Each structure stands twice: as C-alpha cells, then as structure tokens.
C-alpha cells in the first residue's frame, strides 16, 4: 500500500500548493465549513489515484485545500464507510495520504445517534474515547513499519490536550457541548432497541457508523486526533419516531453553525500551539 499512497501523494502535490498541518473530516450534513475556506483548491476523489469514492448522500466527495482565517487547512468533504462495501484499509486510505502530506492534527466530525438521555438532537459531543463494534479493524494484516508500529497504543485515542483546548474555546464562544464515549457500529441499518441497550451497557454515550477506523489509523500513524460528534437523533428505543437519513442531515445542518464557529477557532488555536 505504501507505493499506492505515494502515487496519490504525487498527484495531489502536482495539483495544490497548500501545505496544511491540520485536517478536518466532515460528517453527514456538516460540509458547510467549506464556505469558510479562502483560496480554495478542490480535488474530487475520483481524480486521485487509488482513492475510493463516497456513495452516501450528504458527502460531497472531495478534498478541499485552502486557508481558514489564514491557517492552511485540509478538509475531507465526505468520508468512506465500512457498510459501503469497502475494506477497512480502503476507508482509512485517506488518513495514510494525509500523514504523507504533513498532517499533524485531525479534527474528526460525525453525525450520530444519542444514547445518553441527557442529550438531545443538536447536541455537540466531544469524544473522550471509542468502542469498536465493527467486528474488524484497519490494522489487521501485514504491518508496514514505514507507517507505524505493529501494536500501537490507544490509551489516548483523542488527545487530552486537544480536548482541553476545545473545551476552553467552547466556553469562550458560549457554545454548549457534552462529553462522552462514541461506539462505532457497522451499519448501514439503524441499531435495534436491544442493540442500543447492549451498547449503553458497554458505556457508550453515542453510536454511529464511522470515526473509529479513522481514529485508529491516525493514532497508528502518530497523528493527534480531536473528535466532535453531532447528535442528530436519539437512538432506537429512546427516540419515539422512526429514523431517516434525511432528518439526520437536516439536524446536522442546523447544528453546523455552532460547530463551524467552534472548529474555526480550534484550527486557529492548533496552528499556534
């Protein structure tokens, strides 16, 4: 895979002049952060050698390079999911490319379901830790030491220092937030009520179908991660109406104003630290 990553890197380097140290992965309905990018240079996934293609509504499928309040930043507008039929290596492939591009910090966002009953749709949750319920992980197989160690540490998958900075910024901006544990579920169906009871007993506050594989690989590669989940619906058995992807995207878009304001300020803070 190393040679494939280098091929992708070479193509991107020919297309963009931006050299960001910070990247943001945008979840469903959270793509409006792109509007804050100045001097934007966009590359569609389909152009990049070896890149998968995003197939989910609400995921634009492109890399956006540019400046956010003067800070060179890479936005991944649209991610890949295990339920789309991709392998774990394929859905995390962009993280390997980001590392070679010089990315040192990644802000991972997502739209997900709330299990903690103190939450409500629109809540922004800082992710403290994750639970992997995919039944798989992206590091299985032969290890290439050029990327990272065979047995990476996961004692701090979401960097505590970054979490503390994000909390301080949220308080300064009067943005309400929660904290919690995110469980990654394979999907693509919304979890059953019995599964939610099980996941809750495992200690999860929210559940979604992404983020965990990307977090694992970023830590493996030595990239610091901050995770922010947007609670777009309450989970099955808690929510009284049936789920729909359209409602998820709509709620995420409503919450995106605060999220974008928060992420912009976080990017500024990260750039000087």
4 pLDDT more than 90: yes
How much is the pLDDT for 48? 96
List the single range of 112-116, 173-177, 221-225, 258-262 with lowest mean pLDDT: 258-262
66-83 pLDDT, tens per residue? 999 999 999 999 899 999
Question: Is 186 marked active-site?
Answer: no
Give the mean pLDDT of 35-59.
85
Catalytically annotated residue among 111, 166, 183, 235: 111
Q: pLDDT digit string (tens) for 80-137?
A: 999 999 999 999 999 999 999 999 999 999 989 999 999 988 899 999 999 999 999 9
**pLDDT score for 140:** 97
Q: What is the pLDDT of residue 253?
A: 72
56 pLDDT exceeds 80? no
Residue 78 structure tokens:
């649209």
Marked catalytic residue, from 11, 83, 86, 177: 83
Can 245 be counted among the known catalytic residues? yes
Strands (E), 78-158: 105-114, 124-133
Contact 189, 121 (CB under 8 A): no
Residue 25 to residue 45: CA distance in whole angstroms = 14
**In residues, how long is the chain?**
273
Is 2 marked active-site? no
- Extents of the domains making up the chain: 2-271
pLDDT in tens, 7-27: 999 999 999 999 999 999 998
Report d(CA 228, CA 211) in Å as an integer. 10
Q: What is the pLDDT of residues 200-256, one digit of tens each?
A: 999 999 999 999 999 999 999 999 999 999 998 888 888 777 777 776 677 767 777
Asked whether 83 and 2 are in contact (CB, 8 A), the reply is: no
Q: What is the pLDDT of residue 170?
A: 97
pLDDT at 58: 53
More confident residue, 190 or 250: 190
Percentage of the chain lying above the pLDDT 70 cut: 94
Does 195 qualify as catalytic in the annotation? no
pLDDT at residue 59 is higher than 60 = no
Average per-residue pLDDT for the chain:
92
Judge whether 83 counts as a catalytic residue: yes
Q: What is the pTM of this model?
A: 0.93
Higher pLDDT, 53 or 63: 63
Residue 59 annotated among the catalytic residues of the structure: yes
Considering the chain, what percentage of its residues have pLDDT values greater than 90? 78
Topology classification of domain 2-271: Rossmann fold (3.40.50)
Instruction: Please state, in angstroms and rounded to a whole number, the distance separating the CA atoms of residues 85 and 80.
Output: 9
- Which of 137, 245, 250, 269 is the catalytic position? 245
Residue 28's pLDDT band, with cuts at 50, 70 and 90, is low
Strands 62-68 and 71-77: antiparallel
Burial of residue 22 (CB within 10 Å: 0-12, 13-18, 19+) is buried
């Amino acid at each position: 895979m190393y040679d494939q990553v280098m091929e992708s890197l070479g193509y991107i380097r020919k297309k963009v002049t931006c050299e960001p140290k910070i990247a943001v992965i945008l979840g469903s309905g959270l793509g409006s952060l792109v509007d804050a990018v100045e001097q934007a240079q966009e590359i569609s996934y389909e152009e990049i050698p070896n890149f998968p293609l995003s197939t989910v509504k609400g995921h634009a499928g492109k890399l956006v390079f540019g400046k956010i309040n003067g800070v060179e930043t890479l936005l991944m507008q649209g991610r890949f999911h295990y339920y789309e039929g991709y392998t774990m290596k394929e859905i995390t492939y962009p993280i390997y490319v980001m590392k070679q591009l010089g990315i040192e910090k990644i802000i991972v966002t997502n739209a997900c379901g709330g299990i903690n009953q103190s939450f409500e749709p629109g809540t922004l949750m800082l992710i403290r830790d994750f639970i992997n319920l995919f039944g798989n992980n992206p590091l299985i197989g032969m290890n290439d030491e050029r990327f990272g160690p065979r047995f990476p540490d996961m004692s701090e998958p979401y960097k505590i220092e970054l979490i503390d900075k994000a909390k301080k910024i949220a308080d300064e901006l009067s943005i309400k937030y929660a904290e919690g544990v995110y469980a990654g579920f394979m999907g693509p169906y919304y979890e059953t009520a019995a599964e939610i009871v099980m996941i809750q007993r495992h200690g999860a506050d929210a559940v979604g179908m992404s983020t965990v594989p990307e977090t694992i690989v970023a830590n493996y590669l030595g990239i610091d991660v901050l995770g922010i989940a947007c609670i777009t619906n309450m989970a099955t058995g808690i929510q009284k109406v049936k789920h729909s992807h359209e409602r998820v995207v709509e709620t995420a878009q409503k919450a995106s104003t605060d999220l974008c304001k928060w992420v912009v300020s976080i990017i500024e803070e990260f750039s000087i630290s």
